[in-house]
Amino acid sequence: MPRQFSAVGVGDADFREYVNSRGRALLRTAYLLTGNLADAEDLVQSALAKTYQAWDRIEDRAAIDGYVRRALVNTHISWWRRRKVDEYPTDEIPDLPVADTSGDSELRDMLKRAIDRLPQRMRAAVVLRFFEDMTEAEVAEVLGVSQGTVKSTVSRAVAKLRADRDLLAESTAIYAPDRVR
């Protein structure tokens, strides 16, 4: 027999409380994974929808963050694998909104672009390890790989970031503004 959904369930208040308390952190993680606010919002919504469906079955409430992070990463990976075409030919050129970047620091912008250039698996590992401040064991559990794979993936990602020419050029300009590029 299919599960019956009611407008207000027993766990709805708990779920709303969880979303209110952790929503911004989840959006930050999703943004770091996707590199785009609109995609990040969609990703969080999808992950939370999956979590809501399983809410009553999650017995260990301390594990909810891990469950939702896992849903974020898995959903992002499945979207990435599908790679739909986002550009469609048209006779009219749409107006392009101008992004307000006044709140972003140069360093944050520089680092974001460098992380965006990393392959998906490396980006996920770096985001979870350093931006979510997870241990290597936690990252391994979320990504479904061994701890050694996490160590080597993060190590290779950091090496790529250290060798990134644009990152080196921009960091030189930020930390030594009197130098000419």
Give residue 148's pLDDT.
95
Give residue 61's pLDDT.
79
Residues with pLDDT less than 70, the chain: 1-11, 83-88, 94, 98-105, 107, 170-181
Could you identify the residue written with the tokens 């993060």?
Answer: 154
Give residue 6's pLDDT.
41
Answer whether residue 44 is part of any domain: yes
Q: Mark whether 17 and 51 lie in a shared domain.
A: yes
Residue 73 structure tokens: 């990463």
pTM: 0.49
Q: Mark whether 114 and 170 lie in a shared domain.
A: yes
Give residue 104's pLDDT.
57
* DSSP state for residue 92 in the 8-state scheme: S
Give residue 138's pLDDT.
92
Residue 148 structure tokens: 């050694």
- Structural domain including 20 reads 12-82
Name every residue whose Cβ is closer than 8 Å to that of residue 142 and which is 6 or more positions away in sequence.
66, 69, 70, 73, 128, 134
Q: How many separate domains does the chain show?
A: 2
